[in-house]
Amino acid sequence: MNVLITGAAGNLGSLLARYILDKDKNINLILMQHRKKVPYDIQENARTKVRFADLSKPETLTGCLDGADV
């Protein structure tokens, strides 16, 4: 299963990403970042893909949601 997390560079988003990566080995993450960078330990995990988008600019979302189940 592929889970999309918006705001993965923030406090809550990065905590959620780390929790999922630690607890469930069958879940891959698609992480969206805008200005702030997703923490290195999360973005370098083999089960993560980082995509760049700005939720206030819908045109930047093209392709970001591809492959997301949740």
Q: What is the pLDDT of residues 27-38, one digit of tens each?
A: 999 999 888 899
pLDDT at 15 (0 to 100): 96
Question: Sign of the C-alpha dihedral, residues 7, 55, 67, 44?
Answer: negative
- Does residue 64 lie within any of the structural domains? no
Q: What is d(CA 12, CA 67) in angstroms, rounded to the nearest whole number?
A: 23
- Does residue 42 lie within any of the structural domains? yes
Residue 17: give the domain boundaries: 2-59
Number of structural domains (the chain) is: 1
The token pair that represents 49 in the structure block: 């893909």
Mean pLDDT of the chain: 92
- Does residue 23 lie within any of the structural domains? yes
pLDDT at 2 (0 to 100): 95
- Does residue 68 lie within any of the structural domains? no
- Does residue 28 lie within any of the structural domains? yes
